[in-house]
Amino acid sequence: MTTEVQNNISTEAETPKGPKTYDTPAYKVRKRRFGDRRDGRKLRTLDGLHVATPFVMKDRNDACNQFAEEVNIDKADEFVREQLMAGNEGFSLLHVILAAYVRTISQYPYLNRFVSGQRIFARHKIEVLMVVKKAMNLDSPETSINVIFDPRDTVFDVYERFNEQVIRATTTKNETDGIANGFSKLPRFIFRAAVSFIKALDYFGWCPKSLTESLPFWGSMIITSMGSLGIKPIYHHLYNLGNLPVFISYGTKRKVYELDKNGNVTTKKVVDLKVVTDERTCDGFQYATAFRAFKKYMENPATLINPPETVKEDID
């Protein structure tokens, strides 16, 4: 899993001024109740079928749904060019995709649910993960980044938050590298026991913050760019460790030729997405509604320039 982002962001560039910050929380501050976790609150008003589903499909890979989507990026491509000309170094389609996903969660918060310990939770934050290479060559090591977004973020806030993390991850040694290297040196039977122990801790919501915020298994969504490798997107499995509910892969840009209603040949630029979801978090109608909105935001990036008028919150 790699990305072209670090190719376009100069590590010598001036440190970004930083994304917008807010004095008040986007969501209502709730007192932690019994059964809640550090990373999310237990949903207590779900119907019986939703409550039962994690017991029927215990592991995340038991509950994977896959779908493919073709997105028109004519406007997004033009928007990216405008931002590059305006001096936003390294601005790319990836930033539009991330901003569209953050905006979708702000309006369809059930997309930010997760399953842990056979319970369904509403995540407190929007956390997007990506695995990147420190340099675009075969021998370069990989590292992961975890970027926290605010549901009120604009596409420019997303651009700054994400780029700050990419620069930090590709120029310094982060916690992910240290933890992964430490585990890799363990004998196999100890390594296996350690992973089982982490899964047990996570089942009850007791997993250390140092692990959940460092390893790429806990978050709202993980994304990978196959376009940077020059290939089509793949259906990437979800991990049974952690609680990631959505994996998005996107490929190279391509042109499509179509006939309009008058029989004339028209062209458009598209990008293919392949998405794998954990169907236990919400039903098919909810997923379909949210991803239709996600596609609409991607196709109209101008809607992401300003913060959303309102931010919606998940059920109790």
| Average pLDDT per 10 consecutive residues for the chain, totaling 316 residues | 50 56 84 94 95 94 94 97 95 97 98 97 96 67 87 97 88 69 83 92 93 90 89 93 96 90 89 96 95 98 96 95
pLDDT of amino acid 197? 94
Q: Residue type at 30?
A: R
Q: Is residue 231 part of a domain?
A: yes
pLDDT of amino acid 13? 40
pLDDT of amino acid 306? 96
Rg of the chain over all Cα atoms, to the nearest angstrom: 20
Q: Is residue 110 part of a domain?
A: yes
Q: Closest Cα to residue 216, out of 154, 130, 298?
A: 130
pLDDT of amino acid 138? 63
Q: What's the CA gap between 148 and 152, in Å, rounded? A: 12
CATH number of the CATH domain containing 136: 3.30.559.10
pLDDT of amino acid 140? 64
Q: Closest Cα to residue 77, out of 224, 307, 252, 308?
A: 252
Q: Is residue 161 part of a domain?
A: yes
Q: Is 101 helix (H, G, I), strand (E, B) or coil?
A: helix
pLDDT of amino acid 174? 66
The total of structural domains in the chain comes to 1
The pairing of beta strand 221-225 with beta strand 126-133: parallel
Enclosing domain of residue 65: 5-10+56-179+210-249+285-304
Q: Residue type at 269?
A: K
Longest Cα–Cα distance of the chain, Å, equals 68
pLDDT of amino acid 178? 67
Q: Left, alpha or beta for 242 (phi > 0: left; psi -120 to 50: alpha)?
A: left
Q: Is residue 217 part of a domain?
A: yes
Whole-angstrom CA distances from 288 to 105, 113, 151, 293, 304 are 13, 15, 20, 9, 20
Q: Is residue 184 part of a domain?
A: no
Q: Is residue 316 part of a domain?
A: no
Q: Is residue 149 part of a domain?
A: yes
pLDDT of amino acid 15? 41
Q: Closest Cα to residue 75, out of 269, 304, 233?
A: 269
* Six-digit token string for 43: 């949903």
